[in-house]
């Protein structure tokens, strides 16, 4: 059984994923530009940051779609 998550934490989690992902991806790109070369670890960090940002964005979109559908269903019931 899953533990209850406070609403503020539930709402903030996708935004944290997006923020950390964008900072990580852009940070590794800037770091590599200043260093003048890409390393495997910087590439993996950039890929991981982009993946985090994408997962956060997809989560936000899925929640928005679900809430829109469920609100519509509540309002259209007889």
The per-residue pLDDT for 5 is: 79
Asked if the structure places residue 11 within a domain, the reply is no
The per-residue pLDDT for 32 is: 95
Total count of domains within the chain = 1
The per-residue pLDDT for 31 is: 95
The per-residue pLDDT for 73 is: 58
Residues 6+ apart with CB under 8 A from 15: 56, 60
Asked if the structure places residue 52 within a domain, the reply is yes
Asked if the structure places residue 69 within a domain, the reply is yes
Asked if the structure places residue 12 within a domain, the reply is no
Asked if the structure places residue 5 within a domain, the reply is no
Domain that holds residue 65: 18-76
Task: Enumerate residue ranges in the chain where pLDDT < 50.
Answer: none
Instruction: Note the pTM of the prediction, 2 decimals.
Output: 0.78
Distance CA 60, CA 55 (A): 9
In angstroms, what CA-CA distances link 10 with 5, 26, 43? 6, 26, 30
The per-residue pLDDT for 13 is: 92
The per-residue pLDDT for 66 is: 83
Asked if the structure places residue 32 within a domain, the reply is yes
Asked if the structure places residue 37 within a domain, the reply is yes
């Amino acid at each position: 059984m899953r533990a209850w998550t406070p609403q503020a934490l539930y709402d903030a989690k996708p935004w944290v994923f997006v923020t950390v992902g964008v900072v990580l991806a852009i940070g590794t790109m800037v770091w590599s530009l200043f260093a003048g070369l890409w390393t495997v670890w910087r590439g993996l960090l950039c890929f991981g940051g982009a993946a985090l940002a994408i997962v956060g964005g997809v989560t936000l979109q899925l929640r928005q779609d679900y809430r829109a559908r469920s609100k519509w269903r509540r309002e259209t019931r007889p």
